[in-house]
Chain A
Amino acid sequence: MNFQRIGLAIAFSPTAHAILAEAVKIARQFNASLALVHVGLKSDENQAKIKQMIIGAAGDPVQVSILFRKGNPADEILKFCKEEKIDLLIAGALKKENLIGHYIGTTARNIMRKANCSLLMITTPAVASTSFKNIVVNAEDSAYIQDAIGIACQLGKLHHAQWIHIVRELKLLSLSLSASDQCTEEEYELTKQNLVREEITKVEEMLSRIPHEGLKINIKVVAGKSGFELSKFAERKHADLLIVGAPPRKFSIFGRAFPRDLEYVFADLPCNLLMINLKEVTRG
C-alpha cells in the first residue's frame, strides 16, 4: 500500500512547525507529494508565515502546494481532501476533548468522524521527528483489517519498530462462558483457551499474507468493550502509534452519548492515531 498524495491541515498553533516536520518526513518516506491547506485569510502575511515554516521544516526541497480556504475548518478540510484526491491527511489533535468539545465536536474530531481518506492524527509532534517504535494495530473485523496490519508492518520496518502489537477483540466472552458453565474445570479452561486460540489463529492467517520478516510481533486478544480495551492497551504499552481501520458507518452525536468502538479512542487519544481508509487510496 502506498500513499501518493498527502495532505496537511495547518493552523498557526504552537505545534504547527513540528506537525509540518512530521508531514514532510512521512511524505519523503512514501515518496508522496504534499499539499497544505490552511482555513483562514489568504493574506501576504499568512502566506509568508507558511512558506517560512516549510523552509524551516523541509530542509531539502519537497513538492509542496499550499491552498487557502474560507469557512468551517472541518468541512473545508474534508472538501480539500476530496478535491485534491488526498490519500492520507495529517493533522494535529489534542489528546482529549473537553465535555462540550466532545459533544459538539472539535475540528480534529469532526475530521476523524467524517474523513473519506486515511488520517494521521498527531498528538505528540516533534520537530526532530517522531519515530514509531511501539506500534499497536487494531485487528477488529473491518474492511481494512488486512491493510491496517500491512501498513503497521511497513511502518515497523521503516522505523525499526521494537514491537508491533496486533490487538484482536474476543466478543461476548462472558456470555460464551456463562453458556458453557455446565462443564468440568478442565473443560471450562479448555473452552476459554479455545476461544482465545480461535482469535489468534485468525490473526496468524492474516499475518501469513503480509511480509513481516524481522519484526517482533505480539498478538494480544482482549475481551471487553472494543475500542475502549484497545485504547487502554495502547496506553499501557506506551504506544507511539495506534493504527485502526476506518469504521463502515459515520459517527453521530448518538455515538458520543453511547460510545462504541473508535469513539472511545477519539474521546481520549492514547497516542498518535493512523486511521486507514482506502476509498481514495492507490494500492501499491
Chain B
Amino acid sequence: MGKLSHADVVHLLIQLSIMLLMARMLAEVARKFKQPAVIGEIIAGLLLGPTVLGMINPDWFQTLYPVPSANATILSGFVQVAVVMLLFIAGLEVDLHIVRQQGKQAIFTSLLGLMIPFAIGFIFPYYFPEFFGIADTTQNLIFALFMGTAMAITALPVIVRILMDLNMFKSRMGLLIVASAMIDDVVGWLIFSVVLSMIGKEGNMSIGYTILLAISFVAIMLTLGRGIFNRVLPWVNKKLAWPGGVLSISLALCFLGAAFTEFIGIHAIFGAFIVGIALGDSEHFSERAKEIVHQFINNIFAPLFFVSIGLRVNFITNFDLSLTLIILVIAFAGKIIGAGLGTRLGGFTWRESLGAAFGMNARGAMEIILGIVALENGLINEKVFVSLVIMALVTSMSSGPLMKWMLKK
C-alpha cells in the first residue's frame, strides 16, 4: 500500500475538516430557510471551489485543494465511495412492500410520471444536440437518453419531507406519491446504467447484452441475493456486535455489489442501489439499522460528496442562462404533465394531481449524482452539468411551496 507523506496527511485532514465544517454551516443556513441540507452543501462547495474562492484568490484555492496532487486522488476516492454509499441508501429507501400495497395505481402513476418527462427530455436534446454543446453528433442518442432519464428521476427524501410537513405522508395520496417515486427511481437508475454502459459501444448486440445483464442482476439480487441476505442477517443480528456487525456487513455487501456491476460493465452505483433494495427489503434488516446507516452516510459522506461538486466545477464560467432555462422548462413541463396526469388518472382532482406533480418535481441529490457520473464518463459537458445542478436545486426548493400553494388554494 502506498504511503502519504506527513505533509500530505495533514493537508488531507485539513481538507476534509474544512469541507465538513463548511457543509454543516451552510446546511444549517439552509435549514433555517426550511430547505434540504444538500442546497447548503452545494453552496459550501461553490464557496470553497473555483466559483468563489478560486475567483477571489486563486492561490488560496490552489493551496487548499491542489490539482493534481496525491491528496486530490485520495479525495476523489472518498467521493467515489460516497456516491456508491448514497446510492446504497437510496436503495434502502425503496420499500417494495409499499409499492406492492399501492398496486397497479402506483405503477400507472409512476410510469406516466416517468415516460412523459423522459420523452420530453429525450426529444429536445436528440433533435438539437448542438444547443446542448454536443459536438460529436454520433453520441446524441446516448446523450438524449441520458437527458430523458435525468428529467424522469425524483428525489424521494425531499418528497417525504414535503408530505410530512403537509401532514399527508400516510394519506392515500401521500403513499401513492411515495410508491410512484420509488418505482421512478428503480426504473430511472436501471435506464441510466444501461445508458452509461452504452458509452463507447456500438451495435444492438452489446446494448441488448447490457440490458440483459442489468435485468438479470436485478432479478438475481431480488430473489437469490435477498434469500441469502435473509439467511445471513439473523445470524449477524444474533451473533455479532450491534450495530457494528450489521453496519460492516451491509456496507461490505454494498461495495461487493458495486464492484461486481462495475466489473461486468454496468456502473458501480447500480450494484450499490440494487444491493440496497435487496437488503432493505429483508425483514431482518431492522428500521434501527437503516436509521444508523442513513445517519452515518447522510451526515459524513453525503456532505463530502456535495461539497466536492463545487470544488470540481466553476459554476460561473460554465453557467449558460439559455441552457439552464431550457432545462428548467423541460424539467418542470415533463414532470408536471406526466406526474399530474398519472395522479389524475388515479382518481384525484386536478388540483390534487397538480399538487402531487409539484411534489414529484423535486430532483434533489439524485439528479446531482446522476449528473456527476455523466460528467465523469464524458456524457455531458460542464455547462450541461451546471444547468442540471441548478435545475435540481430549483426543483427541490420550489416543490414544497408550490405543492402547499396548490393544495391549500
Contact = CB atoms under 8 A, between A and B. Distances in A.
A181 B98 contact: no
B386 to A, nearest CB: 25
Contacts of B299: 181
Interface string B279-323: 001010011001100110011000000000000000000000000
B164 A171 contact: no
B160 A260 contact: no
Contacts of A179: 157-158, 160-161, 164
A172 B95 contact: yes
A100 interface: no
Interface in B56-107: 89, 92-93, 95-98, 100
B164 A178 contact: no
A171 B283 contact: no
B225 to A, nearest CB: 13
Contact of B97 (A173, A177, A226, A257): A226
B36 A178 contact: no
Nearest to A231: B283
A176 B31 contact: no
B294 A224 contact: no
Given A172-B178, A175-B93, A228-B283, A182 B170 contact: no
Q: How large is the interface on A (under 10, 10 to 19, 20 to 34, 35 or more residues)?
A: 20 to 34
B287 A173 contact: yes
A180 interface: yes
B283 A225 contact: yes
Interface string A254-282: 00011111001000000000000000000
A223 interface: yes
B97 A225 contact: yes
B97 A178 contact: no
A29 interface: no
B294 A178 contact: yes
Contacts of B286: 224
B156 interface: yes
Nearest to B167: A198
A52 interface: no
Given A223-B287, A224-B287, A178 B98 contact: no
A182 B27 contact: yes
B164 A180 contact: yes
Q: How large is the interface on B (under 10, 10 to 19, 20 to 34, 35 or more residues)?
A: 35 or more
A175 B160 CA distance: 8
Contacts of A218: none
B346 to A, nearest CB: 17
B164 A176 contact: yes
Contacts of B98: 171-172
Interface in B117-146: none
Which interface residue of B89, B157, B170 has the most chain A CB atoms within 10 A?
A: B170
Which interface residue of B37, B98, B294 has the most chain A CB atoms within 10 A?
A: B294
A174 interface: yes
B223 interface: yes
A181 B97 contact: no
B169 interface: yes
B157 A178 contact: yes
Contact of A182 (B37, B223, B294): B37
Interface in A171-222: 171-183, 198
Contacts of B283: 224-225, 228-229, 259, 264
A185 to B, nearest CB: 12
Which interface residue of A173, A181, A183, A198 has the most chain B CB atoms within 10 A?
A: A181
A189 to B, nearest CB: 13
B260 to A, nearest CB: 22
Contacts of B156: 175
Contacts of A224: 283, 286-287
A178 B295 CA distance: 7
A182 B24 CA distance: 10
A260 B169 CA distance: 21
Given A172-B169, A181-B294, 13 more contacts: A172-B178, A173-B291, A175-B157, A178-B160, A179-B160, A180-B161, A182-B31, A182-B36, A182-B37, A224-B286, A226-B97, A261-B97, A264-B283
7 contacts: A174-B287, A178-B89, A178-B290, A183-B31, A225-B97, A229-B283, A259-B283
Interface of B: 27, 30-31, 36-37, 89, 92-93, 95-98, 100, 156-158, 160-161, 164, 169-170, 175, 178, 222-223, 281, 283, 286-287, 290-291, 294-295, 298-299
Which 10 residue pairs across A and B have the least CB separation, nearest first?
A: A174-B290, A179-B160, A228-B283, A225-B283, A178-B294, A223-B287, A179-B161, A173-B287, A174-B287, A179-B157
